[in-house]
Amino acid sequence: MEDELTILEKTDHPHITRVFELMEDKRRYFVVMEYLYGGNLLERILDNIKKDYSFTETDAVKILH
């Protein structure tokens, strides 16, 4: 996990969430990330599940767009 976060900290791409800083204490890691508006991804997915509990690739594209 540490290696992946370090790579993300060095990455600057419009379609990847920025990681600005990594910190840790004796018990926890702290990740300072870019704020993404629009709410929680899980909530958006659950809001878009149809009555028959299906979720298609087209549904995913709409959310990610």
- The mean predicted confidence, pLDDT, of the chain is 86
**Same domain as 56, residue 42:** yes
**Same domain as 16, residue 1:** yes
Query: What average pLDDT score do residues 9-19 get?
Result: 89
Q: How many domains does the chain have?
A: 2
What are the pLDDT digits (tens) for 38-64?
778 888 888 878 777 788 888 888 887
37 half-sphere exposure, CB direction, 13 A CA radius = 0
Q: For the chain, what is the total number of helices (H) and then of strands (E)?
A: 3, 2
Which pLDDT does position 1 carry in this prediction?
A: 81
**Same domain as 50, residue 27:** no
Using CA atoms, how far apart are residues 65 and 19, in angstroms rounded to an integer?
A: 21
Which pLDDT does position 38 carry in this prediction?
A: 77
pTM as predicted = 0.57
**Same domain as 48, residue 20:** no
**Same domain as 40, residue 22:** no
For residues 55 and 63, the answer to whether their CB atoms sit within 8 Å is: no
Which residues constitute the domain of residue 6?
A: 1-34
**Same domain as 58, residue 48:** yes
Confidence of residue 20 (pLDDT cuts 50, 70, 90): very high
